[in-house]
A and B are shown apart, each in its own frame.
Chain A
Amino acid sequence: METRTIAGKSVSFTEDGYMSDMHEWNEDIAKELAKEENIELDDLHWKVLGFLREKQAAGVSLTIRSVGKSGIVDIKGFYTLFPGGPLKLSTKIAGLPKPASCV
């Protein structure tokens, strides 16, 4: 476990670089985390992050397929928003645990 100061707040992370507590998250932290991944967040990104946080809070396991069916973006669009690993990057920026799903 590692603690870093992000957007003026002390935030703890797991070894994988994911936030340990999704409740420590806020939009400023998300912006900083996105910058670390070279992603500039626009409206669509925010909607995806919101969707993921909502699903996680409801205890649903997160998959690429469920994002594709969310009505926010299709799967291709999801890959375009978070290039190189959409589910990994989006959950990281959304302050969620590393997804344990294989699909």
Chain B
Amino acid sequence: MSDKSNDTPLKKVCIICAKGNIEDVYASLVMANGAVMEGIEAKLFFTFFGLDAITKKGKRMFKLHTPTVGNPALRFPNGWRVPTWMGAIPGMEGMTSSMMKKEMDKLDIPPVDEFMEMIVAGGGEIYACKLAMDMFKLKKEDLYDDVKGVLTVGEFYEMSGGENTQIIFT
């Protein structure tokens, strides 16, 4: 960060999370939390499978997984690639996911619910997509308490206005 740019600073980020695996959800949460930490306004919008991350019904938000099939970057702790056929062995995905969570905890990255509390405490806002909720037959009361509202895409764009605002799709 030696050469400082003269650009006007970012004021607002609107982050869309459409996937429900650990890495996509955490990418969105880290970016939203990182924004509020820097004094940047943050809106987090969960849609499609991303809704799992904010669904308390069936404790879905606490059961996020990292896919072990079709994930060519997945490696054993020793650095060897995990062959796709091995990723399909029962228990493999659960084990990998709990390992990911353990490693994140070591870096002081909190569980999903606590992470959202941190974002909201910093003034960030969390929303769910109406269309995806209808599709997955979810109601507002199925969602985590920190979810501020259910939005249509039009309403999402409305709150994405203003100068120096960025929309980020993880």
Contacts and interface: CB of A to CB of B under 8 A. Distances in A.
Interface in B123-144: 123
B37 A66 contact: no
Interface residues of A, number: 21
A103 B121 contact: no
* Interface size grouping (class) on chain B: 20 to 34
A17 B38 CA distance: 15
Contacts, number: 48
Given A84-B39, A88-B38, A75 B108 contact: no
A102 B118 contact: no
A79 B121 contact: yes
Contacts of A63: 108
Interface of A: 15-16, 61, 63-66, 68, 74-76, 79, 83-88, 101-103
30 contacts: A15-B2, A15-B4, A61-B108, A63-B108, A64-B33, A65-B114, A65-B118, A66-B108, A68-B121, A74-B121, A75-B117, A76-B121, A79-B36, A79-B121, A79-B122, A79-B123, A85-B37, A85-B38, A86-B37, A86-B122, A87-B37, A88-B37, A88-B38, A101-B108, A102-B30, A102-B34, A103-B30, A103-B33, A103-B34, A103-B107
